[in-house]
Amino acid sequence: MAKITEVNFKVSRADADRIKKICQRGWAVDWLRASYADFVSMRMDVTAVHCNGNPLRHADLLAADDFNFLHDMSGICNCLDRNTGKLTRNFRPRFSRPARDPDVGFGPMFNRLDRARRTA
């Protein structure tokens, strides 16, 4: 029997406010809005991705140009497993926080480069 897991939606008030702003920007795009039943579904998707193994850089996503913003939002819409909150099909949003585990995400070389960039 498969283990049943619940999708985590617990975010801070500040994160919830930023996610709302991200979704308001996404909701303004006709073709992206057409992919969702309602605004709440879009918020739940972005929250699920953030809380279930793929934390997002909210401020950077919100400030992104249209091409990169829509890349991440459409990828979240199309690749999210809504039963687990995990992204599928090897999709990783461009505005994800860098993985710190060398076996996950971009790997140890990226993590070293990211640390060097932040300390420079």
* Tens-place pLDDT, residues 53-109: 999 999 999 999 999 999 999 999 999 999 999 999 999 999 999 876 544 444 444
CB distance 43 to 56 below 8 Å? no
What's residue 105's pLDDT?
A: 47
Task: Tell me, yes or no, whether 111 lies in a domain.
Answer: yes
Task: Tell me, yes or no, whether 7 lies in a domain.
Answer: no
What's residue 5's pLDDT?
A: 77
Task: Tell me, yes or no, whether 1 lies in a domain.
Answer: no
Task: Tell me, yes or no, whether 77 lies in a domain.
Answer: yes
Domain count, the chain: 1
Residue 25 has pLDDT above 60, yes or no: yes
Task: Tell me, yes or no, whether 71 lies in a domain.
Answer: yes
